[in-house]
Amino acid sequence: MDIEESALAYLAADEGRLVDLAKDIWKHPELGVEEFHASKLIAHELERAGFSITMGVGQMPTAFVASWGEGEPIIGILGEYDALPGLSQRLSAIREAVEEGAPGHGCGHNLLGVASLGAALAVKRAMEKGKIKGTIRCYGCPAEETLVGKVFMARAGVFDDLDAAITWHPGYVNSVWASSSNAMNSFKVSFYGVAAHAGGSPEAGRSALDGVQLMDVGVNYMREHIIQDARVHCVITEGGKAPNVVPPYAQVWYYVRAPNREQVGHIYSWMLDIAQGAALMTGTTFDIDFLTGCYDTLPNDVIGDVLLEKLKRVGAPSFTDEEKDLARKLQETFPPGAIEKSLKRFGMTRDEVGDPLCERITEPHGKGEVMGGSTDVGDVSYITPTAQITTCCQALGTPGHSWQNVVTSGSSIGAKGMMLAAKAMALAALDLETKPDVLRAARDEFEEKTGGKKYVTPLPEGAVPRPASV
């Protein structure tokens, strides 16, 4: 039995346990930096298999690095396990919360972390059998949804010695994720004024809410003069307590996204000037609470080609009539145009991509494009050559971060996609461990794309990771 067959045999034998772990995490959804149950489960499995574990990296109690082997190359597999707020959902094709207002796995991270675990364990088993020198690492990365985990882990230097990194994300197509993502800054602006009776003595007050509103007016006018691909969105987290009291405190929370860090930095700097102007106009003061920032994603085509080859070797999952029936019932609950929007994004027809579930390996799509969202995988991709895949874990057209996604993430549909990801990542990691020419080509591509520039954290000095619930 060769090393690839050994890895696949291990995953076939261990599939039931891995599926149970993913379901366990699905039943215990936790928000970012508070994934104590999920991180403990996954870290325990790795430690039991002989990996050395370092918990609490990057100042986060639920972040860990698990390592096995010795020497080079050092290949990393990235895992995540945080849930999303307010998406509690039963395994049902109608909206039915387990607990109203509670979190749920609307992005499939219960599957993501466990597939990465399975891949790391399979690589270790194959390396042992083949007496292969090298190191395999599994990274437990919390708080991806708030773009915190890998950013603070990167600042701690835990990815610096990697020769390459691979990861995946639950999705619809079984393919390589070839597009980039937006860089992003997340920050809160707090304004401080003077309370007064709004009717009796308004001249004695200074409204912090006026500061927030004028800042947002300024940001809206700024939008006309920034690049079209940038996005600025916000919520007012505090606006006062009653209309008859001049608000002494108000706060607005912004996300700024753009295709690269330099563009984000330009817009962010402009917004700080707008905040200062709003404070001057309202006689208030303000401060900035920088929560996090991340890089755009830099896909490595060399590693992507390896992952695609392995996806094709393993083959796409086959779904049962019962699974397809669940997927169709979920599709009936989607917003109008959701399926058509997905087809446009993939650049394929229903027949080409499959409907309601994808049962084929598709060629990468979106190369050179930038998706609207952001991911902290981007920071890792500017430190070491990085590539990722998606596999079918949801029905065609499923909205992101939705209760429908929670359903398939907890079902056998998600489990089948998870196992395909584990197998493809394990085989790709073994190639990277044993084929130095592939690693050299991946590094050459990385150096060319980065221009030899070293990664610099987007975090200001003194920034600390905070739970998503704060």
- pTM to 2 decimal places: 0.96
Q: What is the pLDDT of residues 160-184, one digit of tens each?
A: 999 999 999 999 999 999 999 999 9
Q: What is the pLDDT of residues 235-289, one digit of tens each?
A: 999 999 999 999 999 999 999 999 999 999 999 999 999 999 999 999 999 999 9
Last residue of a domain, one of 294, 325, 347: 294
112 with 218, same domain: the answer is no
Terminal Cα-to-Cα distance of the chain (whole angstroms): 51
Q: Is the dihedral of CA 156, 157, 162, 165 positive or negative?
A: positive
**How many angstroms separate the CA atoms of 31 and 468, rounded?**
6
Last residue of a domain, one of 276, 294, 312: 294
354 with 408, same domain: the answer is yes
Looking up residue 125, the CATH number of its domain turns out to be: 3.40.630.10
Last residue of a domain, one of 268, 294, 320: 294
pLDDT band at 89 (very low <50, low <70, confident <90, very high): very high
What is the mean pLDDT of the segment spanning 341-349?
Answer: 94
In this predicted structure, what is the pLDDT of residue 243? Answer: 97
**How many angstroms separate the CA atoms of 302 and 124, rounded?**
23
**Distance of alpha carbon 348 from the chain centroid:** 25
In this predicted structure, what is the pLDDT of residue 468? Answer: 80
**How many angstroms separate the CA atoms of 312 and 307, rounded?**
9
> In Å, what is the CA distance from 182 to each residue of 52, 255, 330?
34, 11, 29
259 with 317, same domain: the answer is no
**68 has a pLDDT exceeding 70:** yes
158 with 300, same domain: the answer is yes
CB 23 within 8 A of CB 30: no
Tell me the percentage of the chain whose pLDDT exceeds 70.
100
**How many angstroms separate the CA atoms of 402 and 147, rounded?**
18
The set of residues, in sequence order, having a beta carbon less than 8 Å from that of 8 and lying 6+ positions away, is 122, 314, 423, 426, 427
Average pLDDT, the chain: 97
Supply φ then ψ for residue 216, to 5 degrees.
-70, -35
pLDDT band at 470 (very low <50, low <70, confident <90, very high): low
**How many angstroms separate the CA atoms of 468 and 460, rounded?**
19
* Number of domains forming the structure of the chain: 2
- The answer to whether position 410 is within a domain reads yes
Question: Which runs of E-coded beta strand occur in 172-317?
Answer: 175-176, 180-181, 183-192, 231-238, 249-258, 285-294
In this predicted structure, what is the pLDDT of residue 108? Answer: 98
341 with 284, same domain: the answer is no
**1 has a pLDDT exceeding 90:** no
27 with 39, same domain: the answer is yes
**How many angstroms separate the CA atoms of 379 and 121, rounded?**
25
Full residue range of the structural domain in which residue 224 is found: 202-294
Residue 371, beta-bridge partner list: 181
**How many angstroms separate the CA atoms of 121 and 417, rounded?**
18
326 with 229, same domain: the answer is no
Which strand ranges, in their side-by-side order, compose the sheet holding 64-70? Answer: 52-55, 64-70, 134-141, 74-80, 164-171, 386-392, 175-176
Q: What is the pLDDT of residues 347-392, one digit of tens each?
A: 999 999 999 999 999 999 899 999 999 999 999 999 999 999 999 9
246 with 123, same domain: the answer is no
In this predicted structure, what is the pLDDT of residue 469? Answer: 77
